[in-house]
Structure formats: structure tokens, C-alpha cells
Structure 1
Amino acid sequence: MDGVYRFLLTPRWWGINVFVLLAIPFCIFMGSWQLSRFEGRVQEHRSATKQAASDQHETARSLDSMLPVDKATSGRRVTASGHYGKQLLVPGRQVDGRSGFYVLTLLRTDSGKALPVVRGWLPGRVDAAKAPAAPGGEVTVTGALQASETPGDNGVSAQGGLPAGQTAAISSASLVNLVPYRLYDAWITLDRADSGMKAVPAAAPDGTGLDLKAFQNLGYTGEWFVFAGFVVFMWFRLLRREAEAARDAELGLVPQETPEPVTSG
């Protein structure tokens, strides 16, 4: 080895080299893993989009046969029968870029449980007078099955203290204190809205959309690869500095320190 680079055999540089040899593969592995997470979310998004398109044309199945709601059953068409009961309004919901509110009515089924049914959407501020009353008598509804919402996720409001007759989230946990029924841990949005309202499109299952988490994975991918490059850059920079210092020392270009004069007391 050239005498200039003999410093590479020192314990200090052995430690630096081992760190670099471990850090670079680790960064590449983590970057590749984050990239695979992003690609997986993209594939899930494509599959969910195709599934949503096919769900609109499939034969509706009974509600109980499609529970519990998961990625495979979310968005699938189901049917249920019963009598409409208590009605609630869900403020702060957007459809086609416009703000409005959902009209949510509880369907009391023969099983003894109530199914939250979004009968449609109306534009503007919440107004109970604008919400049409639910049909009377026994009805059979058909719509897209949806999982209970979580306040604070995917744009669902976590607002509390709403006026009577309103709810921020469509979930059994939120509705259990508002209605006197046992509830399904699910809800449906009707294929065709009632009484002049606009039908609410089904939402993709959680974790299948190109949401913030997906692009976080892509951002983390870039960060890990940049860090791997930074490690290599810093190693070469430190190597060059040490080599130049060693070369200057061999040529006698390193200034020697002048010893301070010793004064007698």
C-alpha cells in the first residue's frame, strides 16, 4: 500500500470503514423496502379501483354474508330489509368538490340490529328541514358496504359537541350514544339516493388509496438513498483530506509548531 494511505490501517479508519460497509447496504435495504411499500400501495389502489368498478355491476348479496367489513368486502353491493327508524345528519361532507351533508337513517332489521344507511347527500349547510323523511313501512335497500369511520382519518371530522340530530362520524362507536338500537359495525351508501338527493359514492378501503402514507413511503425511499450517497461522499471527502495531510507531511510541508519559551520563576 502507498505510504500515503497507510492511515487506512489505523484502528480509527478500521472503525470508519466498517461503519461505511454496514451503513450503505442498510440504507439501500431500507430504501428498497420503503419503495416496495409504495409500489404495494399503488397496486392496491389499482386493484381497489378495478374492484369498485366491478362492484357496481355485481349482484347484491345479503348483508350478513359480507360481514365483517375488510378490504375484500368493502365497497361490495349488499342488500338488507327492515324499517327505517331514527334519522341523523352528517355535516361537512363533500361530493364532487361541493360541501354539504349526508342524510343518515338507521334501518332496523329483523336481526334486531340497526344498519346505518346513507340515503343521499344535500349541498349547503346542515338543515333538517331540507332532509327528506325516510319511506315508511318495510323497505329493502341496496348499496355499497362500508367500514365504520374513524374520526380524524381520511377527512372524517373529529368535531364534538354537535347539535342534536347530527353526528361527525358514521361508526357504531359514535352512534351508540345517539340511537337506542344495537348497531352493525358497518354502514351502506345507497346505489340510488332517495327523494332528489345525490348518491354518495363508495370510498376505497383504508390503506388502499394513494394517500399521505403512500407518499410518505416514497419520500422515505428518497431519504434512505440520499443518506447512502451521503455516507459515500463523506467517506471519500475524509479519505481525501487525510491523504492530502499525509502527503504534505511526507514532503515536509506541515508547519511545525514553535515551542513556547520556558521562563524561570
Structure 2
Amino acid sequence: MVGVYRFLLTPRWWGINVFVLLAIPFCIFMGSWQLSRFEARVHDSHAATKQAASDQRETARPLDSMLPVDTATSGRRVTARGHYGTQLLVPGRQLGDKQGFYVLTLLRTDSGKALPVVRGWLPGTAQAAKAPAPPTGEVTVTGALQASETPGDNGVSAAGGLPAGQTAAISSASLVNLVPYKLYDAWITLDRADSGMTAVPASAPAGTGLDLKAFQNLGYTGEWFVFAGFVVFMWFRLLRREAEAVRDAELGLAPKEQEEPQDTAPVSAP
């Protein structure tokens, strides 16, 4: 029986065996890494949900003490003082099963920067006449801290060419060309909306939800483990086929190669 597997010592099989010994641990490592990424996203999603619930009850902290916005500070309650300035509309925003728009007003603070404040949501098409005017004088706002939006992510419109007084995304990069203020790289949504509008709930930090990327990690996990199993399957299949060929040859069952016919033509005399 040992003699049947002597072919494992040939250079060809040395190459096959080395490839298998390297490929299987690599596939297992990559599959485990993708699985850990999925588990991390699940953990972050649960943590973000618990944090959002606790953030609604916690004492609001000064805005500057919670910057810059990251996964630890996103959604936390903050407070700021200042005077309302330029007001913009953010069209194409859904709340529940209805389409509408945000009313976004810039709060000019004593720091010299302006903070984008979503004062509320209104149904229908974005029209300046529908949006209530902001309060006058110095105001104190309290709401959930949010990171600047990225067009194309989480339903944020990337459309350009909007009418004057509107913006597609709430981000300093988008607003810097629309308002004459220096801006915070953040925004807040008020706990209680102004003037009969509906308050906009805070969204979870980017990368902490069970979105398409999370399930892609889970899919990649399965692909790497399946590939590891495929490598093992193919190795056993090649091994069995080669062993059967050697065994058949030893038993004389394998067809012999035909010998090349020799030239038997007579040699003519000179």
C-alpha cells in the first residue's frame, strides 16, 4: 500500500502539498477575520442602540467638550448658545413613511463658528414659505450631536443643482459655499422641534449599524471557509485518482502505451 503513494514524493506533488498546506490556514484566517468584523459590527450596533437610549436621559454637555464627533460622542446630548442666522431647507428626507424636508438653521455662537441646527421636519415639498422663522435674540439649543453627512450614504441625496436656500447634505463641506460663516464639522438635531415641526431622531454613528457592509462580511466569511473545504476536497480527489492510476498500472489494468513502429525497410545496396 505504501508503494502506491510513492508519487507523493515527486516534485509535482511536493508543489501540490505545499500549496494545500499554505492555502488552508490562509482561508481559515481570512474567514475568521471576516467573521470577527461581522461580530464587531453586531456589537457596535447593540452598543449604539443602548447609547441612543441612554443619551436621551443624560445631562446635556457643552458642545465644545464633545468635539470632534466620533462613535463615542455621536448621538450624545449637547447644548450651545448663540443667535440664529441663515436658514436652509434639506429636501428629500423621509420620516416614518412620509416624505418631507428638514428645516436647518445656522446658530452663530460666541466662538465665531456657526453650528448647523435641524429645528425639525415638515411633510411635503421643500418650500421656504412652509418653514417657520427661527426665534430671535440669544437662544440655548439642546439636541443630539451628529457627524457631518456624506452624500450618497444612508439615503443622503447627492443631487446637485438645488434651488437657492436648499442643501442636499448637512456637512461643513456642503454648507461652506452657502453661508458666510465658519462652521463646526458637526450638527445637532433638537430634542424638541420648534413651531409645530416634528423632531428629527438622531441617527446611529456611521459603521455601527447592521447595514449591507456587515452582511457582506458574513458572506465573505462563508466564502473563505467554503474555499478551504474545496481545497481539501480537490486534494483528496487528486490523491485518489493518482493512487488508482498507480494501482491499475501495477495490476496491468492500465492500457500500455503503443510503441512507435520501427523502420524495417531494406537498405538498398550501393
TM-score norm. by structure 1 comes to: 0.96
Take 1:141 and 1:187, find their aligned partners in 2: how far apart are those partners? Answer: 12
In the other structure, the counterpart of 2:236 is 236
> Which is further off, 95-104 or 52-61?
95-104
Take 1:260 and 1:196, find their aligned partners in 2: how far apart are those partners? Answer: 98
Once the two structures are TM-superposed, the CA of residue 257 in structure 1 deviates from its matched residue by 3.4
Once the two structures are TM-superposed, the CA of residue 54 in structure 1 deviates from its matched residue by 0.4
In the other structure, the counterpart of 1:249 is 249
Take 1:159 and 1:261, find their aligned partners in 2: how far apart are those partners? Answer: 79
1:124-163 mapped onto 2 (5 Å cutoff):
124-163=124-163
Once the two structures are TM-superposed, the CA of residue 259 in structure 1 deviates from its matched residue by 4.2
> Which is further off, 214-223 or 249-258?
249-258
> Which is further off, 227-236 or 207-216?
207-216
- Can you list the C-alpha shifts for 1:172-218, whole angstroms capped at 9, x where unaligned? 11000000111111100000111111111101111111112111111
1:216 and 2:216 aligned: yes
In the other structure, the counterpart of 2:20 is 20
Take 1:47 and 1:127, find their aligned partners in 2: how far apart are those partners? Answer: 38
> Which is further off, 91-100 or 142-151?
91-100
Amino acid at match of 2:5: Y
Take 1:184 and 1:143, find their aligned partners in 2: how far apart are those partners? Answer: 15
In the other structure, the counterpart of 1:88 is 88
Q: Which ranges of 4 or more aligned residues in structure 1 deviate by more than 6 Å?
A: none
- Can you list the C-alpha shifts for 1:220-259, whole angstroms capped at 9, x where unaligned? 1111100000000100111111111111111112222334
Amino acid at match of 1:192: R
In the other structure, the counterpart of 1:62 is 62
Once the two structures are TM-superposed, the CA of residue 260 in structure 1 deviates from its matched residue by 5.4
> Which is further off, 119-128 or 41-50?
119-128
Amino acid at match of 1:164: A
> How many corresponding residue pairs?
264
> Which is further off, 184-193 or 208-217?
208-217
Amino acid at match of 1:239: L
Take 2:128 and 2:260, find their aligned partners in 1: how far apart are those partners? Answer: 92
TM-score norm. by structure 2 comes to: 0.94
Amino acid at match of 1:128: A
SS at match of 2:194: coil
SS at match of 1:194: coil
Once the two structures are TM-superposed, the CA of residue 261 in structure 1 deviates from its matched residue by 4.6
Higher gyration radius (CA): 2
Take 2:84 and 2:160, find their aligned partners in 1: how far apart are those partners? Answer: 26
Gapped regions of structure 2 (runs ≥ 5): 266-270
- CA RMSD in angstroms comes to 1.4
Q: Identity across aligned pairs (percent)?
A: 87
In the other structure, the counterpart of 1:6 is 6
- Can you list the C-alpha shifts for 1:31-63, whole angstroms capped at 9, x where unaligned? 111111111111111111111100000111111
Gapped regions of structure 1 (runs ≥ 5): none
